[in-house]
Amino acid sequence: MALLASYTSGREVPIEHMMPASTEDQQRLWVACREKDAQPIRDLLARGISPNFYHFGHTPLVTACQYSIPEIVRLLIQGGADVRTSNRMGSSPLAAACTEGNVEMV
């Protein structure tokens, strides 16, 4: 699907945007963002896991912005998440928050 989106949009999408997270810890971090569970995120960031990775085209920060999780957004940014990255469709964390009507994160 990501490859098709890249082809039909005419925009190149780096292959790493289409792959699953590379480590178990990255997968745990991404899942915790999606499940709105801050404690594992605190633990993983404290262990030095970088929040700057793609899991099937999405970064943890864009995911947290889409799911309206201000506490997790703050944790990720404090943990070094790059607010300038975008997902495979080109949506930035700011755009994701705006699209979902998550005013608190803007």
- 33-50: pLDDT as tens digits: 989 999 999 999 999 999
CATH number of 94's domain: 1.25.40.20
Task: Provide the domain count of the chain.
Answer: 1
Q: Answer yes or no: is 45 within a domain.
A: yes
Q: Which two tokens stand for residue 102?
A: 């998550």
Task: Look at residue 14 and tell me whether its pLDDT is greater than 90.
Answer: no
Question: Which domain does 76 fall in, by range?
Answer: 29-105
Residue 77 pLDDT = 95
Q: Where are the alpha helices (DSSP H) in 10-49?
A: 24-34, 38-46
- What is each CA distance from 24 to 11, 21, 48, in whole angstroms? 30, 8, 14
Q: Answer yes or no: is 53 within a domain.
A: yes
Q: How far apart are the first and last CA of the chain?
A: 29
Residue 20 pLDDT = 46
pLDDT per position as a tens digit, 75-104: 999 999 999 988 888 888 888 888 878 777
Tell me the whole-structure pTM to 2 decimals.
Answer: 0.75
Q: Answer yes or no: is 68 within a domain.
A: yes
Q: Answer yes or no: is 90 within a domain.
A: yes
Q: Answer yes or no: is 87 within a domain.
A: yes
